[in-house]
Structure 1
Amino acid sequence: MELLQSMQVFARVAETGSFTRAADASQIGRPQVTRAIQELEASLGVRLFQRTTRRVRLTTEGEQFYERVMGILGSIAETTSMFAPSGASLRGKLRIDIPTAFSQPAFIASLRAFAVAHPDIEMTLGVTDRAVDLVAEGVDCVLRIGELPDSSLVARRVAMATMITCAAPDYLQTYGEPHTPDQLAHHRGVNFLSGQNRRQLPWQFLQDGSDTSHMSRHGILVNESSAYVQCGVAGFGILQAPGLTLDRYLADGSLVEVLKRYRPRPRPVSVLYPSRSQLAPQVQAFVDWLMQSFPALYDRWLE
């Protein structure tokens, strides 16, 4: 295998921590990945990875080599594009993933404007509420809301999203409006079931300067964002969600905010991608566009 390709495979193994996932991400067979790493180790005269039955980890020499490899691959990407005509359109594949809650007319229309500005970018849009393994699934970047787990991904904060607690007018007419979080014990809730751990997510509130949480024990559990909001509109119970996903329903009166004085702290909206140094030009363009356009789309519901 050529040295450049071997370096690319090495970087995939380092990022995924798995020969199998690196093979899937590189679209080659696992034996080829194994052979590429063995050849690199033989030519360098050092062991790059510590292999166990559970995962693959970089050795000290492997970490040093990884830093140099990422710099080399980044330089190659920059060099191969240096003779592109000034003003030439970006081209290449761009695979992005967004939460279901963000797949709304305003965002899609704005995304269309990006596509029109870059007609030679071949875009694939994934919409899901589950956690996505960017490297293993070949995704360039994802947009996510909420606190992020520690990972090797690069994360850039786009905005802070206002959280709203609300219910349908019919529900409030039947059950009454809660005036404090303590009164939620007597109410039904539309509750979100996290796709990562299959656990119900609690509602958060800011009460007397302190964060409090409430777990609704009555109502319906939903594991998809659009259905979650629609259950609230239909009157199943009270729900809590980012204001930017509820805007049209709050505007037309389908949902009414409750417990406004107890609004929880805003939640971060972030864009994540695997590596800063290897960011392809079309991915960089999308991230830059997202940082600029997203706050303008939802300024009413961002802090």
Structure 2
Amino acid sequence: MDFTQQLRIFVAVVDNGSFARAAEALLMARPSVTNAINALEKGLGARLIQRTTRRISLTGEGELFYDRATRLLTDIADAQNLFGGTDMPPCGRLRVDIPVALAKPLLIARLPQFKALYPDIDLILGVSDQPVDLLADGVDCVVRIGELPPTSMVARKLAWMTVVVCGSPAYLAAHGIPETIEDLKHHQAVNYFSGRGHRPVAWTLPGNGESMYLPMHSGIMVNDTEAFVGCALAGLGLIQVPGLVVAKHLSSGRLQEVVPAMRDIRWPLSIMYPNRQHLAPQVRAFIDWMGTIVQSTASQWLHLTAS
């Protein structure tokens, strides 16, 4: 096995967080990956990776070598693409995690297009509203709605989503229709939480370039988008939600938009991936494809700018 292939395997092991997941991504047998790393370390005369039964970690020498290896692989890829690129299509395992809110309205119906473009990519799609650890869970990239917490991951904004406040006709008939932001303080909400803290996500308010929030009274909290919308349809309270998620219910009249001024709010739609200089071709292909479908789906609910 040549040195360049050993570099690719080493970077794949680090990026995937394990020998087994690297083997899946590279479509190789796990012993071949192990042998390649052993041969690389022997040739360099240095231990690069510490192995335990549960996880791997880089040694000090491994950290230095990883940075150099990713730069070398990037230079090799640039050289190969200098006069029009390589004929090798992206292939291998690709694990993506997306929120429940986006699975049906944005992604699922368009996946045949992705599979037609990249038939050799084996896509593993996780649909969940719960946080994931990209490295620990072996996830290549995640799509997220809303402001993101500080992270070492790379976050690329794809678009901005118009937000609405809405409720069922039954709820509004019983509690009145709020017309202003001040009116919202006297209403019940279906609140949403994510993660283990069970802390409700405060409602976002329009502001002059600054994030402003409104804690809403609630008799119920949920951590799943479909249940969240279902509670609103059942008349349990108002919800603040991207319009794309409830567009069909607004059109049918099962939900009614209130406080039109809240439409001034736009939440970012982003894709996140590990802060690595050398992205696997299948990951880069998906990131670029997501950017393309977002542009083609731009509408009253999905915008390419924040204003």
Give the TM-score taking structure 1 as reference length: 0.77
Partners of 2:59 and 2:77 in 1: CA distance: 24
Match of 2:167 in 1: 167
Q: In the comparison of the two structures, how many residue pairs are matched? A: 291
Contact map agreement 1:25 1:135 (CA 8 A) in 2: no
Match of 1:202 in 2: 202
Match of 2:153 in 1: 153
Gaps of 5+ in 1: none
* Cα offset, 1:81, TM superposition: 9.6
* Cα offset, 1:72, TM superposition: 2.8
Deviation readout 1:216-274 (Å, 9 max, x if unpaired): 22321011011111111221110001111111111211111111113453111111122
Gaps of 5+ in 2: 24-28, 51-55
Look up the SS of the partner of 1:156 in the other structure. strand
Contact map agreement 2:163 2:262 (CA 8 A) in 1: no
Partners of 2:280 and 2:192 in 1: CA distance: 35
Q: Aligned pair in 2 of structure 1 residues 136, 165: CA closer, same or farther (>3 Å)?
A: same
Contact map agreement 1:167 1:237 (CA 8 A) in 2: yes
- The correspondence of residues 106-255 of structure 1 with structure 2, limited to 5 A, is 106-195=106-195, 197-206=197-206, 211-255=211-255
* Cα offset, 1:145, TM superposition: 1.1
Q: Aligned pair in 2 of structure 1 residues 130, 257: CA closer, same or farther (>3 Å)?
A: same
Partners of 2:63 and 2:240 in 1: CA distance: 43
Give the TM-score taking structure 2 as reference length: 0.76
Percent identity over the alignment is 40
* Cα offset, 1:103, TM superposition: 1.1
Partners of 2:145 and 2:252 in 1: CA distance: 25
Please tell me the residue identity of whatever aligns with 2:194. Answer: S
Partners of 1:254 and 1:301 in 2: CA distance: 18
Deviation readout 1:153-196 (Å, 9 max, x if unpaired): 22211011111111111111111011222322322111101125
Contact map agreement 1:97 1:127 (CA 8 A) in 2: yes
Contact map agreement 1:159 1:268 (CA 8 A) in 2: yes
Partners of 1:88 and 1:65 in 2: CA distance: 27
Look up the SS of the partner of 1:237 in the other structure. coil
Alpha-carbon RMSD across the aligned residues, in angstroms, is 3.9
* Cα offset, 1:300, TM superposition: 1.7
Please tell me the residue identity of whatever aligns with 1:142. Answer: V
Partners of 2:76 and 2:207 in 1: CA distance: 53
Look up the SS of the partner of 1:300 in the other structure. coil
